[in-house]
Amino acid sequence: MSKIALVTGGTRGIGESISKKLKSSGIHVIANYASNDDSAKKFASESNIDVVKWDVSSFGECEKNVSQIYEKYKNIDILVNNAGITRDAPLHKMSLENWEKVVSVNLNSVFNMTSLVINKMRENQFGRIVHISSINGQKGQFGQTNYAATKSALIGFSKSLALESASKGITSNVICPGYINTEMVAAIREDILKSIIDTIPNKRLGESDEIAEMVQYLISEKASYINGSTISINGGLWMD
């Protein structure tokens, strides 16, 4: 029987590539999304992957949808905590609303989703959890106190979870992508983005597929000894 994977924010950007990559390796994928119905519809018809709309920052919505997924598919073997947003501004200009929004989508969602799947994984003595963090959680970035705080929090979350779960056949790892060719990065002002690319040793943006390849490996049976790791994929922009 094929394994079941749930990818949050799984219909666009890095999440889209992860969903498609996991499907191509024979996994049954469920891709969550929050709001963009048009791209979710397009993604579902192109990929034939099940999509489910809910807000992962709401514990209640996660509880309801995860329980429906268990009813329908019986299991969730793999969780990819990918959903994330930016609301960039230097702290002296940042609103409480944009602080709270980023914390709830990028970080609270990880508590919501992981706490709702962990007990079944422990019962099954198998689970693969991958968190998509960011280079900016490792090094910080001008204008991203909110985003960077949530992305570095994922590293501490993942390491602690790995300690708690290793004896149950569950791994928890973090990937820190650098600047990847997605809509999120394309939204950076052109001159700023150019100056960022100039500082990347590989002199280009990364591709979503380069992140998805690593997820595919981490969730495989072969990767059972990789646990509590933080894996940087950033063209040499930050060596950690």
* Binding residue count for ligand CAA, defined by CB under 6 A: 19
- Judged by CB under 6 A, the chain residues 160 through 179 that form the site for ligand CAA are 179
Among 25, 58, 108, 141, binds ligand CAA (CB under 6 A): 141
Q: Does residue 147 belong to the site contacting ligand CAA (CB under 6 A)?
A: yes
Among 89, 94, 103, 197, binds ligand CAA (CB under 6 A): 89
Kindly state the tokens that stand for 56.
Answer: 């992962």
Please tell me the distance from the alpha carbon of residue 131 to that of residue 156, in angstroms, as a whole number.
Answer: 11
Contacts with ligand CAA, 23-62, as mask; x by CB under 6 A: ----------------------------------------
Q: Does residue 92 belong to the site contacting ligand CAA (CB under 6 A)?
A: no
- Residue 147 a catalytic site member: yes
Out of 147, 179, 217, 225, the active site residue is 147
As measured in angstroms, the least distance from the Cβ of 215 to ligand CAA is 15
Query: Residues 51-60: contacts with CB within 8 Å, 24+ apart?
Result: 51/10, 51/11, 56/8, 56/9, 56/32, 56/83, 56/105, 56/109, 56/112, 56/113, 57/104, 57/105, 57/108, 57/109, 57/112, 58/112, 59/108, 59/112
As measured in angstroms, the least distance from the Cβ of 63 to ligand CAA is 28
Amino acid at the residue 75: N
Among 17, 104, 138, 144, binds ligand CAA (CB under 6 A): 144
Q: Does residue 237 belong to the site contacting ligand CAA (CB under 6 A)?
A: no
Q: Find tokens 């929004």 and name the residue.
A: 101
Please tell me the distance from the alpha carbon of residue 14 to that of residue 110, in angstroms, as a whole number.
Answer: 17
Of 56-64, 98-106, 138-146, 204-212, which part binds ligand CAA (CB under 6 A)? 138-146
Nearest residue to ligand CAA, using CB? 143
Cα separation values, 35 from 8, 40, 205, Å? 12, 9, 26
Q: Does residue 77 belong to the site contacting ligand CAA (CB under 6 A)?
A: no
The residue (of 223 and 233) whose beta carbon lies closer to ligand CAA is 233
Query: Residues 27-31: contacts with CB within 8 Å, 24+ apart?
Result: 27/2, 27/3, 27/78, 27/219, 28/2, 28/3, 28/4, 28/73, 29/5, 30/4, 30/5, 30/6, 30/69, 30/73, 31/7
Among 86, 145, 165, 173, binds ligand CAA (CB under 6 A): 86
What residues act catalytically? 147
What residue ranges bind ligand CAA (CB under 6 A)?
86, 88-90, 93, 134-136, 141-144, 147, 179, 184-185, 188-189, 192
